[in-house]
Amino acid sequence: MVLQMFFRYIDKLYLFHYNIHMKSEDQFLNSLVDLGLKEQEAKVYLACLKLGQSVVSQISEEANIQRTFAYDILVSLYKQGMVSLVEVNGKKNYSAVSIEQFKNIQLEKYKKFEALIPELKSLEKTTGNRPKVRFFEGIEGIQDALEDTLDQPDGSEILAYATAEGYYASDTRYTNSYIKRRTQKKIFSKCIAPDNQTNREFALQDKEHNRQTLLVPYQMFPFSNEIDIYGNKVAIMSLQEELLAIIIESESVANTQRAIFELAWLGAKHLQ
């Protein structure tokens, strides 16, 4: 999920560069703030980008920031590698780094964060035995919750009470991408689904999609939500009229739900 969010920021950076003559200044500033700059830093960086090599007085005027304050911001941006500095006739001239260099700075920050992830996760495990609960809402929230089911080792397993109707049918582009990536990671999926036309067509692709689906009578089991059990987590998703998801991270909860699923799986087999 962190990786997905990071590349959303990188996409914004390229949009910022591509639309530089089409966006309002407020939109530029918002994009730069999204990429990690403070608002005043964004104003100064944008001024440098527009002016090219310039002295502090020119930059402060363009950014509409007091000269002394602009100088302090330029020093901060220089330390971050966001602007370069040269002396011309005894005067300090600043210029913004290129968009490509900006991108590389963001990538370097991400690499440093990625190196810390194992240590951060080890700290997270020592915070006690209380289940962790996360709530997601809307299309992006559903996608984030589904992406979490892929955040496990290759060859893992997802146990699911599921239906191919609702969100999956309305957003086939994301659905196909998700299934493709799950299959590439060899994450096997065992599904129990209501027996209707949509889910029958879904089940026909089981072999191709590294999945096994058992269909149960629709009249008896007309569930429309999805429950995914994977690793030490249980995700409960509403994919019909309302789009929301809850992920419960708890070893005991996941193990209990896994046992209940296997019991349901045996019952579903008897109904075949």
CATH number for the domain formed by residue range(s) 131-270: 3.30.870.10
CA-closest candidate to residue 5, choices 143, 183, 167: 143
Contact status, residue 30 vs residue 19, Cβ threshold 8 Å: no
163 C-beta neighbours (distance < 10 Å), count: 25
Domain range annotation of the chain: 2-101, 131-270
For residue 30, the SS3 value is helix
CATH number for the domain formed by residue range(s) 2-101: 1.10.10.10
Angstrom CA distances, 206 to 102, 149, 183, 189, 212, stand at 44, 18, 11, 9, 6
For residue 172, the SS3 value is helix
Name beta bridge partners: 183. Answer: none
pTM for this prediction: 0.56
Going residue by residue through the chain, which has 272 residues, state the pLDDT in tens, using 9 for 90 and above: 444 444 444 454 444 444 444 445 667 777 777 777 788 888 888 888 888 888 989 988 888 888 888 888 898 888 888 888 888 888 888 888 887 888 888 788 888 888 887 777 776 655 456 778 999 988 888 999 999 999 999 999 999 999 888 888 888 888 899 999 999 999 999 999 999 998 899 899 999 999 999 999 988 988 888 999 999 999 999 988 788 999 999 999 999 999 999 999 999 988 87
- In eight-state DSSP terms, residue 131 is P
DSSP 88-108: ETTEEEEEEPPHHHHHHHHHH
